[in-house]
């Protein structure tokens, strides 16, 4: 059930709108300004489209397109005119919004960032993509972890970006921190369609979480993004699936209270609980150790695959980027918010 795409909203429901935005070409500051206005206009369309909509979600690369251009002249800042325009639109139309920006980084390559604004235009969540789609993407790896925030109508939101969703640890972290709706914004093209569908479903089922995911859509003359907006129930069954039509807004309702009930009352397949309490029938409270070598190695900065030395692509040179010369250093949170 999705309330006929959100037309019939339940008292405890959250109506989501997934914008299959037409893939743009953005080269100059004027292009960026024009594309910002297109998104503002689409916020207005979302509100006109459905008065019950709580949250409108734009895909990754909605502002910048798929050129991977790191030109500082078209990079964004949190206090820049693009974010301010989004804030004004959310406030004027009394709707929450999720937006994508390529964020200027004075310490290195830009960040691929996502923000969630409330219906007063206030920043509620700020995330930097942890897993850029290497070797194609040049973005700096994110350093803010995976934040969650209070969302509309009693929900708790998390945001991940595109390739992030191919790592099951991302959805698990969102859920572990209390999210009941995980947004996934993307710019994926058609070859990823099957992987997109099955990971959106698996992420939902394995964590008892709603997933709401959307890609850019249409062609820019070089690339063809696939749209494929989809909302998946916490049992892994798709509630709403989109098409490949550019600028269509895919809508549906989710019910966080039902999900919260499942997390508390499911016995079999309550995977998010059972992951940390394995075998609780045999031992009191279940085993709560960490039997996973890769987790221990990551913590100890010793992650290494058995075939590590044979991996061919370990930098971006195959996609035209120079090999990096500096090592990663996490920037303290207080220094990482670029004004």
Q: Which residues are known catalytic residues?
A: 60, 129, 162
Q: Are 136 and 162 in contact (CB under 8 A)?
A: no
Q: Are 179 and 153 in contact (CB under 8 A)?
A: no
Q: Which residue has the tokens 């993509």?
A: 129
> Across the strands, what pairs with 101?
113
DSSP letters along 130-173, please?
A: SS--TTT--PBPP-S---EEE-GGG-EEEEEEGGGGGSHHHHHH
Question: d(Cα 33, Cα 192) in Å, to the nearest integer?
Answer: 30
Nearest to 234, CA basis, from 258, 253, 213: 258
User: What own/partner pairs with CB < 8 Å and gap ≥ 24 does 67-70 have?
Assistant: 67/25, 67/26, 67/27, 68/136, 68/137, 68/138, 69/26, 69/27, 70/102, 70/109, 70/110, 70/138
Q: Are 121 and 88 in contact (CB under 8 A)?
A: yes
Q: How far is CA 41 from the centre of its chain?
A: 22
Q: How far from 101 is each of 90, 192, 331, CA to CA, in Å?
A: 16, 22, 19
Q: Are 34 and 94 in contact (CB under 8 A)?
A: no
């Amino acid at each position: 059930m999705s309330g006929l795409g959100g037309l019939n909203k339940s008292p405890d429901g959250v109506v989501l709108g997934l914008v299959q935005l037409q893939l743009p070409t953005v080269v100059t500051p004027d292009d960026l300004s024009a594309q910002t206005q297109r998104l503002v206009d689409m916020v207005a369309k979302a509100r006109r489209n459905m008065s019950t909509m709580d949250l409108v979600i734009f895909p990754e690369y909605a502002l910048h397109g798929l050129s991977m251009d790191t030109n500082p002249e078209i990079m964004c800042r949190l206090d820049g005119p693009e974010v301010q325009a989004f804030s004004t639109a959310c406030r004027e139309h009394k709707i929450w919004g999720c937006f994508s920006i390529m964020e200027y980084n004075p310490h290195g390559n830009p960040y691929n960032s996502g923000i969630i604004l409330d219906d007063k235009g206030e920043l509620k969540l700020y995330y930097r993509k942890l897993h850029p789609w290497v070797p194609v993407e040049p973005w700096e790896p994110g350093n803010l972890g995976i934040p969650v925030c209070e969302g509309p109508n009693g929900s708790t939101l998390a945001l991940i970006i595109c390739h992030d969703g191919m790592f099951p640890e991302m959805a698990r972290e969102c859920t572990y921190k209390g999210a009941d709706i995980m947004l996934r914004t993307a710019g994926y093209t058609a070859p990823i369609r099957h992987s997109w569908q099955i990971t959106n479903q698996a992420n939902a089922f394995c964590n008892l979480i709603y997933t709401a995911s959307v890609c850019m859509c249409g062609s820019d003359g070089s690339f063809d993004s696939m749209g494929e907006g989809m909302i998946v129930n916490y049992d892994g069954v798709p509630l709403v699936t989109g098409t490949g039509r550019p600028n269509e807004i895919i809508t549906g309702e989710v019910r966080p209270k039902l999900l919260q009930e499942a997390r508390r009352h499911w016995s079999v397949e309550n995977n998010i609980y059972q992951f940390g309490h394995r075998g609780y029938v045999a031992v009191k409270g279940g085993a709560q150790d960490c039997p996973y070598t890769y987790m221990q190695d990551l913590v100890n900065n010793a992650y290494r695959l058995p075939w590590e030395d044979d991996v061919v692509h370990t930098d971006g040179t195959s996609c035209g980027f120079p090999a990096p010369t500096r090592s990663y250093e996490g920037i303290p949170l207080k220094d990482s918010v670029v004004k």
